[in-house]
Amino acid sequence: MKDIIRSVASLPRRQKQLVLVLMDLCVLPLMMWLAYAIRLARPNVEVMAGLDAWYLYVSIFGVLIFALLGIYSAIVRSFNEDYLLRISIGTFVQIVALYVIKKLDLAFIPMSIPLMYGFMLFSYMWWSRAVIRYATIKTFAKKQTLKRVAIYGAGLAGQQIAAALNRSDDYLPVCFIDDKKSLQGQSLSGLKIYSPKRAATKFGKCAIEEILLAMPSVGRARKKEIIESFDSADVKIMELPGVTQLVDGQVQISDIHEVDIIDLLGRDPVPPKPELLEKNIKDKVVMVTGAGGSIGSELCRQIVKHQPKMLVLFEMSEFALYSIDRELQTSGIRVIPVLGSVTNQTKLERIITQYKVQTVYHAAAYKHVPLVEANPFEGIYNTSIGTARSVEAAVNQGVETFVLISTDKAVRPTNVMGASKRMAELYCQGLASTNPKTQISIVRFGNVLGSSGSVVPLFKKQIAQGGPVTVTHPEVTRYFMTIPEAAQLVIQAGAMGTGGDVFLLDMGEPVKIVDLAKQMIRLSGFKTMDDKGNGDIEIQFTGLRPGEKLYEELLIDQENVEKTGHERILKSFEKYYEYPEIYKVFNSLGESVDHSNFNQLTDILKKYVDGYRAC
């Protein structure tokens, strides 16, 4: 039997349609005879007396109506509500046609026959297609068992994805989960709706492998609560895209994806203030240094949305510059790619003058703690001295606004990377104290998710390889923010500056890296291996790397902080050195780099960077 089904299913599309047409041509007259036989309770009956060759009219007219309604052009395996509606319309048309024939006295048709025929016709069309679909799916079903899925959310998105899963070859929806008490205990699309607590007891019994979050409009804080409520469940958690992606069409299987790790932060973004985003960008010439980096490239993406007159990309890496330049070419904004180092002040001034730059976002820096620790002179030269030359170039050429993108690692650093950033901050603060025409601001924040060197892509790769997942220390804690949110807040903070300001971005609650690793393992459908070796993925502690801290801070002085007009941006008033002194310090810093004098370099950092301890 399977061979017959396979041979028919492998026919060209037109031939399969012809098979269905021939089948209906034979069965439709049989349905009409059956209606008369049932009504008269005997098989030997005269059908549609007075109309010769009635069986040709019934079969040809019926097939023609169904063909016009697209019954034969539809794919039987996509059997759905729309298909049933077309069958219903076709059946109704034929019932009406029979009453018209009776009214015109073209044939003998008792009053009950059209309805009986319509009922049997609809039943035949429905069941024949359902059987074909079932037989085809069973014949071509993959050998592995279907993934059994619980759908969290019995709303429109949940119903749509349940219908899509039912038509798939890979998933089997088992039940709905919903918070609404009015829905709990009810059935929807043949699936029982459970409360979250009740559903948790069913996971093992029903062999549920995945929970699918079908709540596209729910906020991150609520989503985090839902995810954490299934901490003890041995299931993988997936989700549908945001509500804006569902507006234009039906939910599809391809819309299902893994839960975004940023949802584990439980942090809903704050809508940006348009006037702050546009203040230093709209109709102005903007330059981004380090334009190909994680933050620099996202700054460029945000900037082109707010209609600058021109965007100058200043980047040292050829490939990074090529990538962001290619990406922005379709933005409609004039983009100028410039290959160069921020340590070349002469070139910076020439570019600023040539393109009449009005706003500079300085994102160029080395940021990987272990690499800078192993190459301290390069770190100081690129980050500290590079920043000094960049801000000097901006002031000398009358740039309106200069914004330094800094890091929480600049606060009481135990590594050269953090110290190099704090020295860069001190130079900007010192130069700002001379009241130049250029408004100089500093924006300090923590880690961004998804940047190069971030733990998230590293953990994903390690989990995909079966582990182990490596964490430096069980107590290491970090602040996290998404790259787009960080870039938007940097732009808004820079617009609030008055000169020499140090702005701090509200990073939310700190996250333990080991907890992040455990959550990512669980969301991937695995168990963290315990001390006895039970579980799937092991977490290995490798020890703190050179210069790495257990905790990061955003403030040097906890007292001198005030709120701003933006709820996610704070302003800090911190110790700084007057420009003549910091200028001399940087001359000494340059000498230590030129002569590779590590002791001189360390002495300078210990004296001028609060809390710095060489590791």
| Residue 597 three-state SS | coil
Separation CA 150–CA 234 (nearest Å):
13
DSSP state of 243: G
| Phi, psi of 265, rounded to the nearest 5 degrees | -75, -20
Closest CA to 28 of 124, 127, 171: 124
Residues 6+ apart with CB under 8 A from 338: 312, 313, 314, 315, 321, 351
Cis upstream peptide for 468 (omega within 30°): yes
| Residue 360 three-state SS | strand
Separation CA 87–CA 90 (nearest Å):
5
State yes or no: pLDDT of 1 exceeds 70: no
> Please, are residues 424 and 404 in contact by the beta-carbon 8 Å criterion?
yes
Separation CA 544–CA 370 (nearest Å):
10
Q: Helices 598-608 and 579-594 meet at what angle, rounded to 10?
A: 160
Cα–Cα–Cα angle for 333, 285, 423, nearest 5°? Answer: 120
Find the mean pLDDT for residues 252-265: 58
Q: What 3 state SS string does 483-505 have?
A: HHHHHHHHHHHHHHCCCCEEEEE
Separation CA 219–CA 487 (nearest Å):
21
- In this prediction, what percent of the chain has a pLDDT beyond 70? 85
- What pLDDT band is residue 348 in, cutting at 50, 70 and 90? very high
DSSP state of 70: T
Separation CA 171–CA 152 (nearest Å):
15
Classify domain 147-259 at the CATH topology level: Rossmann fold (3.40.50)
- What pLDDT band is residue 243 in, cutting at 50, 70 and 90? very low
pLDDT tens string 513-530:
888 888 778 777 677 887
Q: What 3 state SS string does 419-446 have?
A: HHHHHHHHHHHHHHCCCCCCEEEEEEEC
Separation CA 530–CA 231 (nearest Å):
15
pLDDT of residue 424: 95
Q: Where are the domains of the chain?
A: 2-140, 147-259, 280-450+481-506+554-608
Average pLDDT of the chain, as a whole number: 83
Q: How many CA atoms lie within 13 A of 484 on its CB side?
A: 9
> Please, are residues 187 and 194 in contact by the beta-carbon 8 Å criterion?
no
Residues listed for the chain: 615
Burial class (CB in 10 A: 0-12, 13-18, 19+), 577: middle
| Phi, psi of 512, rounded to the nearest 5 degrees | -75, 130
pLDDT of residue 205: 77
State yes or no: pLDDT of 567 exceeds 80: no
Cα–Cα distance list, 114 to 49, 58, 180 (Å): 14, 12, 45
The residues annotated as belonging to the active site are: 409
pLDDT of residue 77: 56
H and E: helices and strands count for the chain: 21, 22
Please report the sign of the dihedral spanned by the C-alpha atoms of residue 499, residue 500, residue 501, residue 507: positive
pLDDT of residue 242: 52
Closest CA to 370 of 579, 107, 548, 188: 548
Higher pLDDT: 409 or 339? It is: 339
> Please, are residues 312 and 351 in contact by the beta-carbon 8 Å criterion?
yes
DSSP-assigned beta bridge partners for residue 50: none
Write the single-letter amino acid at 382: N
Q: List the structure tokens of 150.
A: 């619980």
Separation CA 155–CA 466 (nearest Å):
36
| Unique residue bearing structure tokens 């130049």 | 436
Separation CA 71–CA 93 (nearest Å):
14
For domain 280-450+481-506+554-608, the question of CATH label 3.40.50.720 is answered with: yes
DSSP state of 137: H
| Residue 248 three-state SS | coil
**Count of beta carbons in the 10 Å neighbourhood of residue 571:** 18
Closest CA to 407 of 424, 389, 429: 424
Higher pLDDT: 596 or 229? It is: 596
Separation CA 215–CA 199 (nearest Å):
17
Cα–Cα distance list, 22 to 8, 72, 371 (Å): 14, 11, 74
**Count of beta carbons in the 10 Å neighbourhood of residue 378:** 15
Separation CA 191–CA 212 (nearest Å):
14
| 147-259 and 280-450+481-506+554-608: identical CATH topology | yes
Separation CA 255–CA 173 (nearest Å):
16
Specify the pTM. Answer: 0.64
State yes or no: pLDDT of 584 exceeds 80: yes
State yes or no: pLDDT of 239 exceeds 60: yes
Find the mean pLDDT for residues 153-161: 81
| Residue 564 three-state SS | coil
pLDDT tens string 421-432:
999 999 999 999
> Please, are residues 340 and 318 in contact by the beta-carbon 8 Å criterion?
no
What does the longest C-alpha to C-alpha distance in the chain come to?
A: 116
